[in-house]
Amino acid sequence: MRNVATIKTTLSYAVALALTSVPALAAEASRAPAGTLADGSAVEVISLTNKQGVSAKILTYGATLQALSAPDKDGKFADVLLGYDDLKDYVDHPNYFGVTVGRYANRIAGGAFSLDGKAYQLPLNDKTNTLHGGGKGFDKQVWKVASVKSGPVATLVLTLTSADGDSGYPGKLDSSVTYTLDEAGNLGITFDAKTDKPTIVNMTNHAIFNLAGEGSPDGALGHLLTIPAKAYTPVDAALIPTGELKPVDGGVFDFRAPRRVADGIRDGRDPQIVAGRGYDHNWALDKGVTKTPQLAARLEDPASGRVLEVLTTEPGLQFYAGNFLDGTLVGKGGHLYRMGDGIALEPQKFPDAPNKPNFVSARVDPGKPYHHAMVYRLSVKR
Q: What is the pLDDT, as a whole number, of residue 25?
A: 63
Q: What is the pLDDT of residues 25-67, one digit of tens each?
A: 689 999 999 999 999 999 999 999 999 999 999 999 999 999 9
Stated as kind and residue range, the H or E segment containing 281 is strand 280-284
Q: What is the pLDDT of residues 325-374, one digit of tens each?
A: 999 999 999 999 999 999 999 999 999 999 999 999 999 999 999 999 99
Please identify every residue annotated as catalytic.
Answer: 206, 346
Are the beta carbons of 168 and 132 closer than 8 angstroms? no
Per-residue pLDDT of 140-154, as tens digits, reads 999 999 999 999 999
d(Cα 155, Cα 13) in Å, to the nearest integer? 12
Q: Which residues contact 369 (CB under 8 A, 6 or more apart)?
A: 2, 3, 6, 192, 193, 194
Give the structural domain span for 372: 4-380
Mean pLDDT of 73-94: 97
Do you find a cis peptide bond into 103, omega within 30 degrees of 0? yes
**H-state helical runs in the chain:** 4-19, 87-92, 271-276
Number of domains present in the structure of the chain: 1
Residue of 103, 111, 171 lying closest to 141 (CA atoms): 103
How many Cβ atoms are within 10 Å of 334's Cβ, its own excluded? 8
CA–CA separation, 95 vs 382, rounded Å? Answer: 34
Calculate the average pLDDT of the chain.
93
Question: Going by C-beta distance under 8 Å and a sequence separation of 6 or more, which residues neighbour residue 8?
Answer: none
Residue 160 confidence (pLDDT) above 50: yes
Q: 286: annotated binding-site residue?
A: no
**Ligand-binding site membership of 106 (annotated):** yes
pLDDT at 354: 98
Give the pLDDT band (50/70/90) at residue 14: very low
CB distance 247 to 230 below 8 Å: yes
Determine if residue 280 is labeled as part of a ligand binding site: yes
This prediction has a pTM of 0.92
CATH number, domain of 248, equals: 2.70.98.10
The pLDDT-based confidence of 127 (bands split at 50, 70, 90) is very high
